[in-house]
Amino acid sequence: QVQLVQSGAEIKRPGASVKVSCEASAETFSDYFIHWVRQAPGQGLQWMGMINPNSGGTTYAPRFHGRFTMSRATSATTLYMELNSLRSEDTAVYYCASDPSGDGVVGFDFWGPGTLVSVSS
């Protein structure tokens, strides 16, 4: 099974940027896509985008296009999400989640523990 380890909590000022990492266990990782999902305090789940760790190909949710970037380390087992021009509404827990099919047809089977990003002046 895939294990996902995320970087620690972040506190940022409005207008700043944040970069969160998601490190995946290497076992069968080459078969997985990684999605990013966020959850504001007391709110539901919001899909942000997905990345193919092998090709680096990405798909972004329209509302995040331009302010949100997904990338991968050279090793391809560490993925990153970066969110720019932070505002208070970006305060949320950010999750990475694995997708064994690449098109979500069998759901997101493993999730990281989440990274809390707090945006406050």
Partner 1 sequence: DIQMTQSPSSLSAYVGDRVTITCRSSQNIGTHLHWYQQKPGRAPNLLIYAASNLQSGVPARFTGSGSGTTFTLTISSLQREDSATYYCQQSRNTYMFTFGQGTRLEIK
In our burial notation (b when 16+ CB lie closer than 10 A, e otherwise), range 93-113 reads bbbbbbbbeeeeeeebebbbe
The answer to whether 53 contacts partner 1 (rule: CB under 8 A) is: no
CB 18 within 8 A of CB 83: yes
Q: Which structure tokens are listed for 23?
A: 């490190």
Binding mask 16-35 for partner 1 (x = CB under 8 A): -------------------x
The answer to whether 38 contacts partner 1 (rule: CB under 8 A) is: no
Smallest gap from Cβ 44 to partner 1, in A, equals: 5
Q: What residues make contact with partner 1 under the rule CB under 8 A?
A: 35, 37, 44-47, 50, 59, 61-62, 95, 97, 103-109, 111-114
